[in-house]
Amino acid sequence: MRVSHPLDDLSPASVLVAAGRPARVPGASVNPPVDFTSTYAAPSTGVGYGRNGNAVWTAFEEALGHLEGGDALVFGSGMAAISAVLALVPPGGVVVTPRHAYNLTNVLLEDYAKAGYEVRHVDISDTAEVLAALEGADLVWTESPTNPMLEVADLRAIFTAAREQGVLSVCDNTLSTPLLQQPLELGADVVVHSVTKYLAGHSDVVLGATVTATRGQGPELLARLTRHRTMHGAIAGPMEVWLALRGLRTLHLRVERAAANAAELARRLADHPALERVRYPGTGAMVAIEVRGGADAADRVAADCRLWLDATSLGGVESLIERRRKYAAEATTVPENLLRLSVGIEDVDDLWRDLDRALRG
């Protein structure tokens, strides 16, 4: 359980730089070491075996835990973290999930449904619909904004109702990051991150994380997630975690620049003649656009960009563009002509000229 710490009085920008550092003693390194070992000499007063822990895991978990206000665990991938959280649902249990969410979350839930679980898909932006679906549920999964439709949920209302009904509440906070939204403060029980995205920020690692509340059932959930990580081998490599911690140091700068770029692009795109609709939640670095002319026209726009990269993923320093419905696993309610834009930190005028040129053909 996380206890009071001097970093608690610092702003998130300062926490990002200061957390997870070695103790300040003469001759100490500024950065934590990368401990490449699978085992430790006996008798061990530490983790004993590499599956159970690593110094750089602890450093990263300290930093992320301070940002989210809870206890963090790093996993070998975002899907490993998602799988660990969904494993909290009892056999045959009921899960409420957004109709639009990270597509592999819902693909995994399809497997759960085939195994006898009940999965209730809801419009997460319709609070009344979500609250009605909570009756008899075991877990409610949330995203806000959703991926890729960028719908916004009333998280506080959902988490409050879930707690009143004894429903475990989870928020995938990948798109917002802890800088823009802290679900545990809003009442969530568990937060999930694809560390691959904004937290690491450089499209060079695959990692995931969970963060559990320090109150209530949080310590019990932390113990169960830790056991799942250990017993299912969902562990992260020390080099990947070290890279993610290094990336975390500049999260506030990257999010600030990318979000400013996204806001400006959304403003310029609002009345673009080549578009049917612009989706922008008003914050963050994600924008979605619906191109006139259908899927073929959208594919041409993505292919014609020179600075924007037609590729999957999001949250890196580079700007990415892709048509989501080209993937069979994407929800069929996502428009065929929707392009998801992960706005990076490049010069906004360069991004605009490249996208505008592609849109105008």
**What confidence tens digit (pLDDT) does each residue in 113-140 have?**
999 999 999 999 999 999 999 999 999 9
Question: Rounded distance, CA 261 to CA 320, Å?
Answer: 13
Point out the catalytic residue in the list 102, 112, 117, 198: 102
Q: What is the mean pLDDT of the chain?
A: 96
pLDDT over 80 (residue 354): yes
Looking at residue 223, the DSSP 8-state letter turns out to be H
Half-sphere exposure in the Cβ direction for 106 (13 Å, CA): 21
- 74 has which bridge partners? 209
Q: Which amino acid is at 137?
A: A
Question: Rounded distance, CA 287 to CA 340, Å?
Answer: 6
Would residue 87 be called left, alpha or beta, if left means φ above 0 and alpha means ψ between -120 and 50 degrees? Answer: alpha
Where are the extended beta strands (E) located within 71-189? 71-75, 94-98, 118-122, 139-143, 168-172
Question: Rounded distance, CA 4 to CA 1, Å?
Answer: 10
pLDDT at 268: 98
Question: Rounded distance, CA 155 to CA 149, Å?
Answer: 17
pLDDT at 133: 98
Q: Which amino acid is at 239?
A: M
Point out the catalytic residue in the list 123, 172, 189, 299: 172
Helix axes 348-360, 294-304, angle to 10 degrees: 140
pLDDT (tens digit, 9 = 90+) per residue, 51-64?
999 999 999 999 99
pLDDT at 4: 56
pLDDT at 47: 83
pLDDT at 6: 73
Q: In what side-by-side order are the strands of the sheet with 286-291?
A: 275-279, 286-291, 338-342, 320-323, 309-310
> Among 231, 239, 184, which Cα is nearest to 212's?
184
Is 102 annotated as catalytic?
yes
pLDDT (tens digit, 9 = 90+) per residue, 315-344?
999 999 999 999 999 999 999 999 999 999
Helix axes 251-269, 348-360, angle to 10 degrees: 40
pLDDT at 1: 45
Question: 71 near 222, Cβ under 8 Å?
Answer: yes
Q: Greatest CA span in the chain, whole angstroms?
A: 70
Question: Rounded distance, CA 159 to CA 199, Å?
Answer: 24
Class of domain 8-248: alpha beta
Q: At which residue do the structure tokens 């806001």 appear?
A: 263
pLDDT (tens digit, 9 = 90+) per residue, 139-149?
999 999 999 99
Percent of the chain with pLDDT over 70: 98
pTM, rounded to two decimals: 0.95
> Among 252, 250, 284, 261, which Cα is nearest to 148's?
284
Point out the catalytic residue in the list 21, 51, 249, 277: 51
Give the CA dihedral 142, 147, 150, 156, nearest 10 degrees: 10
Average confidence (pLDDT) over 204-217: 95
Point out the catalytic residue in the list 2, 120, 197, 254: 197
What is the three-class DSSP state of 255? helix
Average confidence (pLDDT) over 94-122: 97
pLDDT band at 170 (very low <50, low <70, confident <90, very high): very high
pLDDT (tens digit, 9 = 90+) per residue, 249-300?
999 999 999 999 999 999 999 999 999 999 999 999 999 999 999 999 999 9
Domain ranges of the chain: 8-248, 251-360
**CATH among 3.90.550.10, 3.90.1150.10, 3.40.50.300, 3.40.920.10 for 251-360:** 3.90.1150.10
Q: How far is CA 131 from CA 90, 138, 280, in A?
A: 21, 13, 25
DSSP string, 177-215: HHHH--HHHHT-SEEEEETTTTTT-SS----EEEEE-SS
Average confidence (pLDDT) over 96-119: 97
- 49 has which bridge partners? 39
Is 172 annotated as catalytic?
yes
